[in-house]
Amino acid sequence: MRKRLAVLGAALLSAVASVVVAVVPASAATTGLHISGRDIVEANGQNFIMRGISHEHVWFPSQTSSFANIKAQGANTVRVVLGSGKRWGPSNDVANVVAQCKRNRLICLLEVHDTTGYGQDGAAATLDQAVSYWISQKNNLVGQENYVVINIGNEPIGNNNPGQWTTATANAVRRMRSNGFQHLLMVDAPNWGQDQNHVMRDTAQTVWNADSMHNTVFSVHMYAVYNTASSITSYFDAFKNKGLPLVVGEFGWRFDSGQVDDQTLMAQAVSRGIGYLGWSWAGNTDGRLDMTNNFNPNQLTTWGQRIINGPNGIKATAKEATIYGQH
């Protein structure tokens, strides 16, 4: 999702397809967050299921109280919007962002937002440019593998030629590893994150194989394309059948003319042990996807109440990472 809502004019496609079950070896990582089977686990082997909220840090860098306020809602993860400088930013306060996450006992999911809609939005950055940003921040990230997940680039391909996603993403993962990053990596789907052409679903194995550490989780963003229970469950089933790890890296409760089936999404994510991260704490231009009014934690919107206090919501299902000492 961008600060302004993206146009997602693609129709729903059937998610029913023949799939090949892949054997997924445990991550080569010995420390830090990593993949074991289809699960995200901590260094001690304890499962970690993301229950988080996105915070639009790059546009609102003074709203640092949001970290504590998001934690107070029960979240165990904050997805922090950063800019590489191609379009927004550059975010040169990564060390402070990580410190804020750790101070508030949150897993820090960092993402570069400039890549949003590449190929359709002419202002967008490439995934390769996003990797260059991560390399520039390497000193702030190495050694933080227990606390930090790197979401290489937000919604990195639009609806024009979504098939380019596979090679671009595999190359980005390879370059991250060749530059010494051992973190858990997250890769977003094309089609503004929604993968309605099923490029990520059908070629995820290629990206997985490109990671020498086998330590990449796939992220789908669920908005209007996922307005029925069957569209959600069939997508989850596809990754289960492939044996590959999946999270819902963004979702909302309504978008344009289509209503997101957020209730099915959260219920299915909980029953399947899949992480989810809602968009967003505050700052959207029309406010429809704000969880708070003007960053005020005492003024939750309807969306904020649903994801935080509702059935299968954050307060009911989130567990703090054991790295912070809670068992």
Give the residue numbers annotated as catalytic, written as ranges: 155, 250
Instruction: State residue 183 phi and psi, 5-degree precision.
Output: -70, 160
Q: How far is the C-alpha of 154 from the C-alpha of 61, rounded, in Å?
A: 18
Q: How far is the C-alpha of 64 from the C-alpha of 7, rounded, in Å?
A: 30
Q: How far is the C-alpha of 157 from the C-alpha of 168, rounded, in Å?
A: 9
What the block records as the tokens of 308 is: 């935080």
Q: How far is the C-alpha of 293 from the C-alpha of 70, rounded, in Å?
A: 14
The distance of Cα 15 from the centroid of its chain, to the nearest Å, equals: 21
State how beta strands 296-300 and 292-293 pair.
antiparallel
Q: Which helix (H) or strand (E) holds 325?
A: none
CB of 73 within 8 A of CB of 65? no
State how beta strands 216-222 and 34-36 pair.
unpaired
Q: Match 């960053």 to its residue by tokens.
A: 295
Query: 42 in helix, strand or coil?
Result: coil
Q: How far is the C-alpha of 113 from the C-alpha of 70, rounded, in Å?
A: 20
CB of 108 within 8 A of CB of 149? yes
